[in-house]
């Protein structure tokens, strides 16, 4: 099979890249070893969050947030996006101080999308929050989407533009011969001028085939969701200094995250849960929202996610090969960036440049200069 | 601190007989059972029936009381009302008891999850007033509650049994609508001669049918095109038989067309499974001793493939012999010597089982929904049409379909609709369920309150030395 661009990985980054490339008439094949959205892109918490981003990520994340507001129209699909705002709760004066310090830095760079709120505004926006909480920080543009739906939306829109998504096909080998990339899959062989690595938790293996070493690790962030409960919280909720992540969907189910990790068995494509840590996440949630105590947990799971040592993704050209690009290692906050990353990758593939400064995301940023 | 040698989950015929055999050999056995008293579904309340005349339920039921008595005399740690919500491959079991989360460790694990009724997604099957024949049995056995003037529809031994039990107790029954197709009789006939070796079993079944016929109860055979009448509650059943449309009015409709292994535990543990084309269901892959793809996890009884209560008792014993061998209490030679009789007993049952499986083989028309508006997932109210739309959008795998449509994401977590979804996808893809696969089941195995989870502590229950 032949195409202009071969994308390895059918998650949100791969599907979004396929969409923006195919929109310009570029022919695209996406190789997906399981099914599209099987791992982190399909089973994450669905947070669409600009709040609290690393400074290096803010320009990309801001641009992506603008895109989310009209993404359903752009794709002609339902991503489940709801603009419900996001609040990080402050529990004490130390939290408030930390928020003010961040605000000074943000304002210096001209970023004004985060707004500190006081206790009364917090109580008004989250009437069921523990009254001991002292305030927080808010981003109005934020919200959530349905991860699998959003990934599938990009996938279908790309397919309508002619992109081919090949599921159940793993890239076993990649080599550059003359001006083309040859890929050996489990069932087919592929040929393309350009290759894009969106391999998620497996991206280090693809990078190696391309010729780039990268200190990627993987982990299994855990989530749990309750059966439906009466509506009590509209905004997505986090905490400034605690492991809390919480959102109630339109259907009443409430999703609890917080970043606790289970056990990632990448070789066998599966995860195991750490129940002691889930119990701790349940305690934290009940502490912030006592109303949740009686809610029933319906499902607990973990997904395989890729992490970089500095928790920043790799976005940009390969260091050691021509016509190869990377977008992976989003370290549990890549879902929101999907739209803009797709656009940036399309820009890089077709024109070689992008309007964003990607220097913080270089693949070789951890290369040791000396022993 | 010490762990248990073996933990058995489920105290039905398989679990009880395994526990007895292992306790006799002196190993430390713990049994976790959801009910307040051992017995499982088949012998539910058999040790303490609320019925004035328990003989009406039949000798197959009362024999359960003897097994329960033997089990309760055995040196076994029994946790009643213990709801297991996590089974770890590492031998860690998390369960709820009296509103508390508890944990125990074991070297060997024996799962005896039993059977569940195959869903019968005909038009109107989710209306109030429609129940399964199994539910009728539970009400009868645990609470001595019956539904007067009900109509029973479907096929299979359990259906005839509950109808006969109702009749013996003098409960009025409106009609029995038998959906066993004519073709099933034709196909089963060649298997009959070999099945005749189990003449006692055959006679039992035939006498049940004779008893029903002799009672004068209207029996409609070869019924097709079943639909529940009513819009907000069941008002009866309409069907076609011998070329005629019929309607029978009733407030309660009991449906049944066979049982299938309860996959909740075996699937959640990620054990290997395969599609059984004779019984039209998934089952866990085990050897003759019930040992699964994870060597220290065994499965016995109907939960490993439908074999009935007597077969389950034998299978439980066989699993016990193998586990005793694995624990170093029985040499391989002794295991095989002790198992010989049970192994040949199980083998003798095969022709009869084949005959029964063929005779009561579920038809696609009852196994899979026939109308676009029929609900498949009751929890999330997803119709066959909704699933078809998801399939058209590219979700070809049960898990992808779940992510897209929420089918199987409600409180039952797909435990009810799993077989139907696999079956529909297989039909639409023009392949067999083996190719399509099944839901990945997630913890917890049952709903767990946030409060209960947050109080979870890794307290190890010590086995009595």
> What does the alpha-carbon distance between residue A116 and residue A111 come to, in Å, rounded to a whole number?
13
Spatial separation of the C-alpha atoms in residues B211 and B219, rounded to whole Å? 12
Name the domain boundary from B207, B233, B257: B257
What are the pLDDT digits (tens) for B155-202?
999 999 999 999 999 999 999 999 999 999 999 999 988 888 878 888
Same domain assignment for residues B16 and B103 = yes
Show residues of chain B in contact with A35, CB under 8 Å: 396-397, 399-400
Indicate which CATH number applies to the domain containing B373: 1.10.10.1100
Are the C-beta atoms of residues A5 and A21 closer than 8 Å to each other?
yes
What is the CATH number for B295? 3.50.50.60
Q: Which of B396, B409, B451 is nearest residue A286 as measured by Cβ atoms?
A: B451
Residue ending a domain, choose from B210, B225, B257: B257
Residues of A in contact with B413 (CB under 8 A): 298-299
Residues of chain B positioned with their CB less than 8 A from the CB of A43: 403
Is there a domain that residue B446 lies in? no
d(CA A302, CA B287): 31
Looking at every residue in chain A, the average pLDDT score rounds to: 95
Establish if B339 belongs to a structural domain.
no
Same domain, B219 and B233: yes
The ipTM of this complex is 0.82
Name the percent of chain B lying above pLDDT 90: 72
Is residue B179 domain-shared with residue B240, that is, in the same domain?
yes
Instruction: Calculate the average pLDDT of chain B.
Output: 92
| pLDDT for residue B297 | 98
Residue B325 falls inside a structural domain: yes
pLDDT of residue B43: 84
- Kindly state whether residue B444 falls inside one of the protein's structural domains: no
Q: Is the pLDDT of residue A371 over 80?
A: no
For residue B444, cis peptide bond before it (omega within 30 degrees of 0): yes
Quick one: B245 and B145 in the same domain?
Answer: yes
C-beta neighbour count of A243 within 10 angstroms? 15
* Gap between the terminal Cα atoms of chain A: 43
Report the number of distinct structural domains present in chain B: 3
Interface test with A, best of B95, B403, B447 (most A CBs within 10 A): B403
Based on the fold, state whether residues B383 and B421 are members of the same structural domain. Answer: yes
Q: Rounded to 5 degrees, what angle do the CA atoms B362, B367, B373 make?
A: 155
Same domain, B123 and B235: yes
Residues B136, B228 within the same domain: yes
Domain membership flag for residue B86: yes
Q: Is residue B461 part of a domain?
A: no
Residues B111 and B150 in one domain: no
Residue B235 sits in the same domain as residue B288 = no
- Whether residues B140 and B239 share a domain: the answer is yes
Crossing angle of the two packed helices A147-160 and A338-351, in degrees rounded to 10? 30
CA of A6, closest CA in chain B: separation in Å?
20
Query: B229 pLDDT exceeds 80?
Result: yes
Ordered domains of chain A (ranges, CATH): 2-61+147-217+308-361 (3.50.50.60), 86-140+221-302 (3.30.9.10)
Total beta-carbon pairs less than 8 A apart between chain A and chain B? 96
B15 and B87 in a single domain? The answer is: yes
Order the strands of the B130-132 sheet from edge to edge.
B130-132, B253-257, B150-155, B173-178, B219-220
Residue B152 lies in a domain: yes
> Would you state the pLDDT for residue B1?
40
Instruction: Report the pLDDT value the prediction gives residue B106, as an integer from 0 to 100.
Output: 94
CB neighbour class for A131 (10 Å; exposed up to 12, middle 13-18, buried from 19): exposed
Asked if the structure places residue B14 within a domain, the reply is: yes
Residues counted in chain B: 465
| One-letter-per-residue 3-state SS of chain B | CCCEEEEEECCCHHHHHHHHHHHHCCCCEEEECCCCCCCCCCCCCCCCCCCCCHHHHCHHHHHHHHHHHHHHHCCCEEECCCEEEEECCCCEEEEEECCEEEEEEEEEEEECCCEEECCCCCECCCCCCEEEHHHHHHHHHHHCCCCCCEEEEEECHHHHHHHHHHHHCCCCEEEEEECCCHHHHHHHHHHHHHHHHHHHHHHHHHHHHHHHHHCCCCEECCCEEEEEECCCCCCEEEEEECCEEEEEECCCEEEEECEEECCHHHHHCCCCEEEECCCCEEEECCCCCCECCCCCEEECCHHHCCCHHHHHHHHHHHHHHHHHHHCCCCCHHHHHHHHHHHHHHHHHHHHHHHHHHHHCCCCHHHHCCCCCCCEEECCCCEEHHHHHHHHHCCCCCHHHHHHHHCCCCCCCCCCCCHHHHHHHHHHHHCCCHHHHCCCCCCECCCCEEHHHHHCCCCCECCCCC
- Residues B446 and B85: beta-carbon distance below 8 Å: yes
At A359 the three-state DSSP class reads helix
Higher-scoring residue by pLDDT: B201, A353 = A353
Identify the domain containing residue B211 by its residue range.
119-257
List of chain B residues whose C-beta atoms are within 8 Å of the C-beta of residue A249: none
Shared domain check, B230 and B127: yes
Per-residue confidence (pLDDT) for residue B462, from 0 to 100: 58
User: Which of B231, B257, B283 finishes a domain?
Assistant: B257
What is the arithmetic mean of pLDDT over B220-230? 96
């Amino acid at each position: 099979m032949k195409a202009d661009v071969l994308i390895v990985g059918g998650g949100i980054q791969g599907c979004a890249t396929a969409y923006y490339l195919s929109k310009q008439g570029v022919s695209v094949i996406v190789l997906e070893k399981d099914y599209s959205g099987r791992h982190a892109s399909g089973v994450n918490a669905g947070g669409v969050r600009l709040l609290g981003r690393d400074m290096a990520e803010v320009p990309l994340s801001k641009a992506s947030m603008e895109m989310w507001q009209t993404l359903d129209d752009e794709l002609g699909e339902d991503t489940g996006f709801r603009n419900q705002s996001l609040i990080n709760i402050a529990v004490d004066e130390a939290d408030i101080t930390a928020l003010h310090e961040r605000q000074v830095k943000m304002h210096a760079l001209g970023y004004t999308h985060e707004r500190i709120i006081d206790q009364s505004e917090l109580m008004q926006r989250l009437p069921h929050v523990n009254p001991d909480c002292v305030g927080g920080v808010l981003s109005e543009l934020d919200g959530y989407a349905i991860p699998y739906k959003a990934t599938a939306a990009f996938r279908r829109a790309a397919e309508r533009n002619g992109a081919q998504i090949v599921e159940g096909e793993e890239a076993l080998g990649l080599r550059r011969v003359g001006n083309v990339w040859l890929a050996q899959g489990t069932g087919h062989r592929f040929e393309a001028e350009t290759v894009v690595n969106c391999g998620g938790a497996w991206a280090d293996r693809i990078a190696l085939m391309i010729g780039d070493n990268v200190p990627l690790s993987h982990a299994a962030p855990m989530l749990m969701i309750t059966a439906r409960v009466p509506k009590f919280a509209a905004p997505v909720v986090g905490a400034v200094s605690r492991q809390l992540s919480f959102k109630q969907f339109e259907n009443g189910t409430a999703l609890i995250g917080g970043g606790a990790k289970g056990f990632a068995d990448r070789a066998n494509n599966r995860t195991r849960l750490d129940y002691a840590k889930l119990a701790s996440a349940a305690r934290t949630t009940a502490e912030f929202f006592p109303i949740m105590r009686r809610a029933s947990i319906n499902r607990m799971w973990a997904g395989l996610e890729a992490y970089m040592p500095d928790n920043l993704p790799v976005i940009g050209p390969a260091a050691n090969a021509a016509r190869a690009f990377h977008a992976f290692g989003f370290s549990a906050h890549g879902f929101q960036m999907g739209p803009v990353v797709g656009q940036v990758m399309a820009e890089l593939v077709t024109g070689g440049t992008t309007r964003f400064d990607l220097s913080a995301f270089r693949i070789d940023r951890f290369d040791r200069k000396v022993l | 601190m010490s762990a248990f040698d073996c933990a058995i989950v489920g105290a039905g015929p398989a679990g009880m007989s395994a526990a007895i055999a292992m306790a006799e050999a002196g190993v430390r056995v713990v049994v976790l059972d959801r009910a307040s008293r051992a017995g499982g579904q088949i012998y539910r309340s058999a040790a303490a029936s609320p019925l004035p005349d328990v003989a009406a339920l039949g000798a197959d039921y009362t024999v359960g009381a003897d097994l329960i008595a033997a089990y309760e005399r055995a040196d076994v740690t029994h946790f009643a009302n213990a709801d297991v919500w996590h089974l770890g491959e590492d031998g860690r079991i998390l369960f709820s008891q009296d509103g508390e989360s508890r944990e125990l460790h074991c070297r060997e694990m024996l799962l005896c999850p039993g059977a569940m009724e195959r869903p019968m997604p005909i038009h109107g099957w989710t209306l109030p007033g429609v129940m399964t024949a199994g539910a009728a049995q539970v009400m009868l056995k645990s609470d001595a509650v019956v539904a007067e003037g009900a109509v029973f529809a479907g096929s299979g031994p359990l259906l005839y049994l509950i109808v006969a039990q109702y009749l013996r107790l003098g409960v009025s029954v409106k009609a029995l609508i038998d959906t066993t197709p004519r073709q099933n009789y034709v196909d089963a006939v060649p298997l009959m001669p070999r099945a005749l070796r189990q003449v006692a079993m055959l006679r039992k079944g035939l006498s049940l049918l004779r008893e029903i016929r002799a009672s004068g109860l209207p029996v409609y055979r070869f019924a097709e095109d079943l639909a529940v009448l009513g819009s907000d509650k069941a008002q009866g059943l309409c069907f076609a038989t011998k070329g005629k449309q019929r309607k029978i009015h009733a407030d309660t409709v009991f449906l049944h067309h066979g049982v299938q292994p309860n996959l909740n535990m075996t699937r959640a543990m990620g054990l290997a499974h395969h599609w059984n084309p004779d019984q039209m269901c998934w089952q866990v892959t085990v050897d003759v001793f019930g040992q699964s793809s994870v060597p220290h996890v065994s499965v016995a009884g109907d939960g490993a493939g439908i074999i009935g209560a007597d077969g389950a008792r034998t299978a439980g014993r066989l699993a016990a012999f193998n586990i005793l061998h694995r624990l170093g209490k029985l040499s391989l030679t002794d295991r095989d010597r002790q198992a010989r009789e049970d192994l040949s007993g199980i083998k003798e049952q095969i022709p009869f089982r084949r005959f029964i499986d063929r005779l009561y083989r579920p038809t696609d028309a009852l196994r899979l929904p026939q109308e676009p508006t029929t609900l498949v997932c009751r929890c999330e109210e997803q119709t066959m049409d909704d699933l078809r739309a998801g399939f058209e959008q590219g979700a070809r795998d049960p898990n992808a379909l779940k992510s897209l449509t929420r089918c199987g994401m409600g409180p039952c977590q797909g435990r009810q609709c799993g077989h139907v979804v696999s079956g529909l996808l297989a039909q639409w893809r023009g392949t067999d369920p083996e190719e399509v696969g099944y839901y990945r089941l997630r913890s917890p195995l049952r709903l767990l309150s946030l409060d209960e989870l947050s109080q979870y502590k890794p307290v190890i229950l010590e086995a009595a030395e």
